[in-house]
């Protein structure tokens, strides 16, 4: 089962409230990160998530600053320092991909169905099999250069 509400909160009477036990884990994630601990190390020490990705997501969730629905768990200074540290580490590891241009890729411009199926249904005709037949009939007419939304 997936969790829909961020760690550190629970819903009571339709409102998000702080779950103090989980909120302390969130605060410790920020504290450990600012002390220099790795994302994997934080994940292992706190038991939150199963990889560095879960911890990284926590460090970037703005709801922990508080908004109209979620009460604040961390203060703005701590969140800002963690964001700066994350950028510093990414730069040190040459992982700042923010400004690299995206490669242009050719994308299909027009699709049409071939006429190689007689269209008769059988006893074994299921929605999945019909979809498979239709997808198998798709042909690409021509290809245009992808300009990322530009015409």
Task: Give the tokens for residue 81.
Answer: 């320092």
Check: CB of residue 104 under 8 Å from CB of residue 147.
Answer: yes
Q: Which of 70, 65, 75 is nearest to 10 (CA)?
A: 70
Which pLDDT value is given to residue 35?
Answer: 96
Q: Which residue has the higher pLDDT, 151 or 64?
A: 64
Evaluate the CA torsion angle 99, 100, 102, 104 in order and state its sign.
positive
Q: What is the DSSP string of the chain?
A: ----SPTTEEEETTEEEE-HHHHHHHHHHHHHHHTT--HHHHHHHH--SSSHHHHHHHHH-GGGG--SSSPPSS-HHHHHHHHHHHHHHHHHTT---TTSPPPP-EEE--EEE-S-------TT--HHHHHHHHHHHEEE--EEE--TT--
Q: In order of start, what are the domains of the chain with their CATH numbers?
A: 9-92 (3.90.1750.20), 106-145 (no CATH)
Q: Give the model confidence (pLDDT) of 103-139 as tens digits.
A: 666 665 565 555 555 555 565 677 777 777 777 777 6
Average pLDDT, integer, range 38-59: 86
Q: How confident is the model at residue 98 (pLDDT cuts 50, 70, 90)?
A: low
Q: Give the model confidence (pLDDT) of 57-84 as tens digits.
A: 899 999 999 988 999 999 999 999 999 9
pLDDT over 50 (residue 13): yes
Check: CB of residue 34 under 8 Å from CB of residue 82.
Answer: yes
Q: Give the model confidence (pLDDT) of 16-35 as tens digits.
A: 999 999 999 999 999 999 99
């Amino acid at each position: 089962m997936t969790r829909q509400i961020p760690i550190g909160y629970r819903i009571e009477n339709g409102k998000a409230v702080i779950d103090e036990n989980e909120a302390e884990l969130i605060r410790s994630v920020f504290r450990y990160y600012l002390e220099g601990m790795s994302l994997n190390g934080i994940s292992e020490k706190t038991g939150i998530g199963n990889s560095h990705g879960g911890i990284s997501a926590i460090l970037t969730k703005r709801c922990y600053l508080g908004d109209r629905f979620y009460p604040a768990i961390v203060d703005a200074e701590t969140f800002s320092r963690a964001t700066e540290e994350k950028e510093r580490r990414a730069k040190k590891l040459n992982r700042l991909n923010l400004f690299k241009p995206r490669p242009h890729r050719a994308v299909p411009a027009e699709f049409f169905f071939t006429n190689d199926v007689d269209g008769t249904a059988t006893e074994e005709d299921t929605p999945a099999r019909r979809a498979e037949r239709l997808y198998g009939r798709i042909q690409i007419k021509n290809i245009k250069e992808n300009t990322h939304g530009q015409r």
